[in-house]
Structure 1
Amino acid sequence: MINTKRLVRRLFVGGIATATVAAGLVVGVAGPASADPVGSLAGVGSDTTQDVMNGAADAIGLGVVGSWDAIDPISKAQHLVISPKRDCTFNRPNGSGQGVTAIRQSGGVTAAINAPFADEVDQPEAGCVDFARSSGDPGTNQSNSGRWVYIPFALDAVSIASQHFGDATATNYNALSIDPLNATTGQGTLQKLYRDGAAVTVNGTTYDPQCNVAPCAGGATPIHLYIPQNGSGTRSFWLSKMGIGTVGGWVHDHAWNGTDYTGALVEEHDGTVLQNDALGLAPFSVAQWVAQRNGHGDRRHGAHLHSLVNVTTSAVSNPLTGAFPTVETGNLQSTFIVRREVYNVVEYAKVKQGDPKFDATLYSVFGPQQGLCGKSAVILSYGFALLSSSPLGHTCGAIADNLRAYAND
């Protein structure tokens, strides 16, 4: 059954508007199923990149690709049924991991069909998902012969955020350190907190992640460590940077409600949990923070970014290019210590020129020097940095074997 709530669908095209008209596609704003485009490319997944993809849609105008938000844009509910294409209905994926699961299910992958994400009771029919937004790379699923390929289009960074700015706690949080090279054994104070659940002392204040309410043993200050919801690409990325394999009981994806951690689910890049918790600390996409500051769906709710210290060099790394931390101005600092590429995941054969399954429309949107990569102003407006160079190994639109995944699919 199709969800009758207002379903926001964004459309964009990379140099293929003529083909759209010729194909006679029906396009329209979000709403009832009849307004969905017939035969369009449909995308789902990452919270981190949904806004920049929506921005690209608005800048380019009507086209052939629909990018669906990670949660219902009106009710904010998770996993409501959506219908991005005619004769397609499925539960809306929330986050990178769920988006990748959905595209694999749409491709008939038995492993993904038999292992749905939580609350997925309606899986996509064949061909219903054409791309998945992902803020994480292939990770352990990487294979040079994989069926799917992660195509990068922008650079992001991730720092910690809290409700503190200009006070002693903010000063201390700006002094937390990280080992960028040895997450599992590194002695960064931030890694000790998240990975080990150990108390750390910064500027004379000891923070204990296993103490929820003062007074804490030894006069320590409680600190509440958050991560985004399960299935989030930022969650996976942050855990890898913290060196975490199994999440400890001192790290939470539900909010502290004054008694325990059974409050609201922690959505990535949403400052609600921090607004309601003066002891809270959470990872936050720098690009998302900048985009929201720029007026694109602001849900920071008073969340402030913090610097990190390189444990090896003792150098302070600022997430923003302006007069940070005195004033939160400027854009994403492309040399920030914790960086990542962001991607759209598609079937490799469909963007491999010369392959029998090659899809010229899909390639013209996501390939090198194609539609999305030509929208530099939009990418920058939404807080991301450009991949005109390859700071992490790839330029925008690169179709690389080392970004392929799931060889058994």
Structure 2
Amino acid sequence: MKIRKMVAVSAAVGVALACVGFGSSAYAEPVSNSYSLVGSDTLQDSANAIINGTNASGGFLRVTSSNTTLGNFDAFGSTAIQAKPGGPFFGRPSGSGAGVTALRASITGATYSGNAAVPAKAITGQVDIARSSSGPGANANTSGLLAYVPYARDAVGFAYKGGNASWATLTAAQLKAIYECTTTEIDGIAVTPRIPQNGSGTRSFFLSAIGVTTLGSCVNDTGNTTPENDATVLGANQIIPFSAANWISQANGVAGLNTTTAAGVAFGSAIAGQAAFTGSAPNLVPNSTYYSDTKFGRDTYLVVEYARINTADPKYDAGLARLVNPTVANSLTSFGTIGTSVGNVKKKFGFLAPSTTTITRAFATL
């Protein structure tokens, strides 16, 4: 399902992907001739627009590296991807955790599987950037070998189907009880909690925010492969964590595929008295107060090997360093808000500027 989002974005803005090969016309994903990105579903649509070309901010913008194109691979789609010309096909990294794992394998030469349908194989040099909707957590280390570079600010709530007016706002305590299965109904209506796939940054962030370490037995897809940010997976009286930025981008029609129009679905706030966004589709606007919340607001990241952006290291890669340098105009991590800029494109996709531009290092060993 998610792969169609990329195809739709390209078609909508009339992008001609020159010098980019395709592994299959059915999936129409590029084989990068410079740098490749994998990982988070939450960041993929804005990155697709920025990398493939977009008019979302009023004028045409496309980020390249020395006039070579980048390859941004969706979190969901075919079981295998080919990231570089002549490179191996390997299991698609679905989610933030999987993207970082693939990046680590690309650096170390360790084998990577991605999913059970694709045999593990060496993917050395195939992944340059991992998209991550969550920070490094316990892996943060001041001497870490990976660099988490802030990309944009997002927030998390939940999508729900059915219920009644009381479902529109559920507190962290209520959500914790629902996901631990000590609460099985809301205002007299039975509720079934859903959870995105293992490796999802939204999954790990949401569970941490509501204080859940062990999911209750009523969560019917524990350890499953349910895609994140897809409201069509919901059945009657079900809820699932959802990125506010993704809801906004889908509802505003810039993501290419809109699951927010599925019958009976709505976005729920996890902060009493605060909506995650204001306005009406296709003109939803992020609520900066909700996004700045210390529990449900979050910075998102592009993750790279630290040595490749460190000018003192023999592995320094000037092209990659520029792509993730927030002080460089229209880099992938920049957030200018004037005219045709990467920041304005990100705003159209429901993101705000990150709370900091400071890099966090992580993973003492890979």
1:377 matched to 2:331: no
Match of 2:306 among 348, 354, 374: 348
Q: 2:270 aligns with which of 298, 301, 308?
A: 308
The one-letter code of the counterpart of 2:82 is S
Q: Does 1:405 align with 2:353?
A: no
* Residues 144 and 404, structure 1, Cα contact 8 Å, conserved in 2: yes
Q: 68, 71, 74: which one pairs with 2:73?
A: 68
1:173 aligns with 2:167: yes
Calculate the aligned-residue CA RMSD, in Å.
3.3
Query: How far does residue 321 in structure 1 lie from its aligned partner after superposition?
Result: 2.6
Counterpart residue identity of residue 192, structure 2: H
Q: Deviations over 1:351-385 (max 9, x none)?
A: 12332211110111111222121501210111111
Counterpart position of 1:152: 150
Aligned residues of 2:20 and 2:33 also touching (Cα < 8 A): no
State whether structure 2 residue 198 is matched by structure 1 residue 230: yes
TM-superposed CA distance for 1:136, in Å, is: 1.0
Q: How many residues align?
A: 327
Q: Which residue of 1 aligns with 2:103?
A: 103
| In 2: Cα distance, 1:293 partner to 1:40 partner | 32
- Specify the alignment match of 1:268 in structure 2: 228
Alpha-carbon contact 1:36-1:84 (below 8 Å) kept:
yes
1:83 aligns with 2:70: no
Is this contact kept in 2: 1:8–1:31, CA < 8 A? no
Amino acid at match of 2:71: G
Q: String of CA shifts for 1:67-99, please: whole Å, max 9, x gaps.
A: 111112xxxx4xx22112122121111111111
Unmatched 5+ stretches in structure 1: 11-25, 179-187, 207-220, 255-261, 311-315
Alignment correspondent of 2:252: 294
Asked whether 1:251 is paired with 2:219, we answer yes
Task: Name the SS of the counterpart of 1:345 in structure 2.
Answer: strand
- Tell me, in whole angstroms, the C-alpha distance in 2 between the residues paired with 1:6 and 1:177: 34
1:239 and 2:207 equivalent?
Answer: yes
Cα deviation, 1:105-134, whole Å, max 9, x if unaligned, reads: 111165xx4886554524352111001111
Task: Letter of the 2:269 partner, please give it.
Answer: S
Q: What whole-Å deviation, never above 9, does each CA across 1:242-287 have from its counterpart, x for those lacking one?
A: 2122222122337xxxxxxx9x94210001122xx12101111110
How big is the shift at 1:49? 0.5
Q: Does 1:44 align with 2:38?
A: yes
State the 1:31 CA deviation.
4.5
> 1:285 corresponds to which residue?
243
In structure 1, distance between residues paired with 2:252 and 2:23: 27
Relative to structure 1, the CA distance from residue 272 to residue 46 in structure 2 (aligned partners, 3 Å threshold; closer, same or farther) is same
Cα–Cα, structure 1 residues 288 and 7, in superposed 2: closer, same or farther, change >3 Å?
Answer: closer
Distance, in Å, in 2 between the alignment partners of 1:189 and 1:341 is: 24
Aligned position for 2:178: 193
For residue 39 of structure 1, report the CA deviation from its aligned partner. Answer: 4.2
Describe the SS at the equivalent of 1:408: coil
**How far apart are the structure 1 equivalents of 2:50 and 2:213?**
36
User: Once the 2 structures are TM-superposed, how far is the Cα of residue 53 of structure 1 from its aligned partner?
Assistant: 0.1
Tell me how far apart the structure 2 counterparts of residues 114 and 67 of structure 1 sit (CA, whole Å): 18
Q: Deviations along 1:313-364, whole A, 9 cap, x unmatched?
A: xxx12111338xxx99631212214111111110011112332211110111
Cα 1:364–1:248 shift into 2, 3 Å: same
1:298–1:328 distance in 2 versus 1, CA, 3 Å: closer
TM-score by length of 2: 0.80
In structure 2, what is the Cα distance between the partners aligned to 1:200 and 1:328?
A: 34
Q: Is residue 320 of structure 1 aligned with residue 277 of structure 2? A: yes
Structure 1 residues 376 and 309: CA distance shift in structure 2, 3 A: closer
Give structure 2 stretches of 5+ with no counterpart: 9-17, 55-60, 335-340
Q: 1:356 to 1:252 in 2, by over 3 A?
A: same
Which letter does structure 1 place at the counterpart of 2:200? S
Query: In structure 1, how many angstroms separate the alpha carbons of the residues matched to 2:122 and 2:288?
Result: 37
Instruction: Give the TM-score normalised by structure 1.
Output: 0.72
Change (3 A) 1:268 1:38: closer
SS in 1 for 2:100: helix
